[in-house]
Amino acid sequence: MVPFTVFYSDDTPAGAGLDDARLLTLIRFEERTPAQSDPRAVTVALAELGGTRTAEIWRSTRPVRIGVRAGIHHASDGEALFLHLRLDEYALDALQPLTAIVYRRLSAVAGALGYPYFLRIWHYFPRINQEYQGVERYRAFCAGRYQALEAELTAFETQLPAASAIGTDSPGLQLYALAAKEPGVQIENPRQVSAFHYPPQYGRRSPSFSRAVLKNWGEGHEHLYISGTASIVGHASQHGDLLPQLAETLANLEALLAEADRRAMTPLELTLLKIYVRPNLDPAPLRDRIVQTFGANVPLLFLRADICRQELLLEIEGLATSGNHPRDNAS
């Protein structure tokens, strides 16, 4: 049985839904980030586009245990662990050491709780493309992440989680993650150089993430956690305009899904997509093209955000899931 489902829902007043004993997390996207006392409640400081208010809900099939450990909020159901924390930056040049500290603390807490394998990690922090002392903040973040993961992982290039790093207007480093008791399978995109093999022009340390992670939860249930995907072929950004970048991004997603489907035990279907779009860009034509590619039944969430490369205008992440029917390998 798959331990949890993920879906979008019309947002409800703060606190609603938190009385559900099987709620793993409730994620809201708002420009303001109110304090939350429940470890399962997360607010990301990004504005939703289109005039709607949407909540992202992770609901378990089992009762959920919650707590706070070493400043990290966590919720678990015996198979999956959700973790969340936010830390203030104590100086302009603190992002690299802060990221390394956060990762070490996250790994220690997840390991102590019995979920040592990270499947997916989300990162949000301000001024992602700004330089300080000649180093772009995203590249400083990448150096801190590499510093921690290189020390933690026994097989660095085959154990990396899927990930996104997105720019917000809210201060501090915010991170939430999904971990499990057993590892997933790292999936790379045949159209792209693996991010951890990027050449030095993209920073002293390459980004340490996989393009996706395929997790078999048993009984034919699989999840594909899709990293932030953009208009990159090989290792180079492509196109300067929004719609050509979208077309390349969708081609990358289709290639990644095909590669994952080849590795999966059961056919995969997109469950939802999250689209990050730079400020002052119209998401309407994006929606039409995405629907043409993946159909009208895939829920879409559009958020205003900054992207990890200055020249990129959008990034798409998502989740694909399998059903109950194994492949007919004889066909």
Q: What percentage of the chain exceeds 90 in pLDDT?
A: 84
Q: How many CB atoms lie within 10 A of CB 241?
A: 9
Nearest to 241 by CA among 275, 281, 272: 281
Residue 331, in any domain of the structure: no
Label residue 2 by pLDDT band (50, 70, 90). confident
Least trusted range by pLDDT, from 10-14, 250-254, 258-262: 10-14
Kindly state whether residue 262 falls inside one of the protein's structural domains.
yes
User: Is residue 315 annotated as a catalytic residue, yes or no?
Assistant: yes
Task: Say if 329 falls within a structural domain.
Answer: no
Predicted pLDDT at 237? 97
Q: What is the CATH number of the domain that holds 199?
A: 3.30.1330.40
Residue 328 lies in a domain: no
pLDDT tens digit sequence for 8-45: 998 765 445 788 999 999 999 987 766 667 999 999 99
pLDDT tens track for 91-141:
778 999 999 999 999 999 999 999 999 999 999 999 999 999 999 999 999
69 vs 75: CA distance, rounded Å: 11
CB 213 within 8 A of CB 225: yes
Could you tell me which of 18, 39, 315 has the C-alpha nearest to residue 164?
315
Q: How much is the pLDDT for 238?
A: 97
Q: Residue 290 has what pLDDT?
A: 98
**Is 330's pLDDT higher than 60?**
no
Residue 248 belongs to some domain of the structure? yes
pLDDT one-digit tens code per residue, 269-283: 999 999 999 999 999
Contact 77, 64 (CB under 8 A): yes
Would you state the pLDDT for residue 327?
38
**Contact (CB, 8 A) for 126 and 45:** no
Contact call for residues 103 and 209 (beta carbons, < 8 A): no
Give every CB contact of residue 235 below 8 A, 6+ residues apart in sequence. Answer: 192, 193, 197, 198, 199, 202
Section 161-188 average pLDDT: 96
Range of the domain at 97: 4-322
From the candidates 136, 259, 315, 317, give the one annotated as an active-site residue. 315
Residue 180 identity (one-letter amino acid): A
Rounded to whole angstroms, how far apart are CA atoms 83 and 81? 7
Helix (H, G, I), strand (E, B) or coil at 162: strand
pTM: 0.95
Residues 26, 169: Cα–Cα separation, whole Å: 21
Residue 170 has pLDDT above 60, yes or no: yes
How many angstroms separate the CA atoms of 139 and 207, rounded? 8
Q: Are 3 and 79 in contact (CB under 8 A)?
A: yes
**147 pLDDT above the threshold of 90:** yes
User: Do 168 and 43 contact (CB within 8 A), yes or no?
Assistant: no
Q: How many domains, in total, are found in the chain?
A: 1
CA distance 196 to 186: 12
